Amino acid sequence: MTDCLACRIHRGELRVPGGVLYDDGLWRVEHAVEPTPMLGWLVAKPLRHVECLDELTPGEAERMGPVLRRMAAALRASGVLPVRPEKVYAVLFAEAAHAPHMHFHLIPRTAADPPERRGPHVFERMREAAANPESAPSPAALQALAARIRAFLQSAASL
């Protein structure tokens, strides 16, 4: 699909702050596109244009669980985020007209996040960042976090 946001990113037509965090040839993980709502808001998606879980090949499906687990481990590893999340949400909707490509939002949720920002309400952060882009993390902060995530993924602790 030529105008699919994920496919455009995979073709290099759009850059995501911090660059590619993980790519195994089937799945890729990056920060959410700008304005990235918060540090650690990641997006995991198959490289191939797939719109629903049942369209994954057996190989893509087998890789999905380990990818999600490793990225959650990266976000919860000591020193990766300023505050270690209590949970990492994994949310798949792919409902936006420009982004039908299936993608999991991986979203850290800390103890400090108030009830009105938990569960599905966390997507308020995406709306707020779009309305107020200067509230989003800086490119430098996202690049620094990306380097910590890549370092964790290269360590034995991530396996």
145 half-sphere exposure, CB direction, 13 A CA radius = 25
Q: Which is nearer to Zn ion, 31 or 101 (CB)?
A: 101
Q: What character string, x for contact with Zn ion (CB under 5 A) and - otherwise, covers 94-123? A: -------x----------------------
CA gap 12, 157 in Å, rounded? 30
| CA–CA separation, 130 and 88 (whole Å) | 22
Q: Which is nearer to Zn ion, 103 or 125 (CB)?
A: 103
Please enumerate in sequence order all residues whose Cβ is within 8 A of that of 60, keeping only pairs 6 or more positions apart, or say none: 26, 27, 46, 48, 50
* For the chain, counts of helices (H) and of strands (E): 4, 5
Question: 30 to 59, contacts with Zn ion by CB under 5 A?
Answer: 49
Closest CB 46 distance from Zn ion, rounded Å: 9
Interface of this chain with Zn ion, residues 6 to 35, rule: CB under 5 A:
6-7
Say how many CA atoms lie within 13 Å of 92 toward its Cβ: 13
Answer yes or no whether residue 142 interacts with Zn ion by CB under 5 A.
no
Q: Of these, 4, 68, 90, 141, which contacts Zn ion (CB under 5 A)?
A: 4
Smallest distance from Zn ion to CB 108, Å:
25
Query: What is the nearest approach in angstroms of Zn ion to the Cβ of residue 53?
Result: 15
Closest CA to 141 of 80, 84, 86: 80
Q: Which is nearer to Zn ion, 96 or 157 (CB)?
A: 96
Q: Is 18 helix (H, G, I), strand (E, B) or coil?
A: coil
Residue number with CB closer to Zn ion (48 or 148): 48
Site residues, Zn ion (CB under 5 A) = 4, 6-7, 49, 101
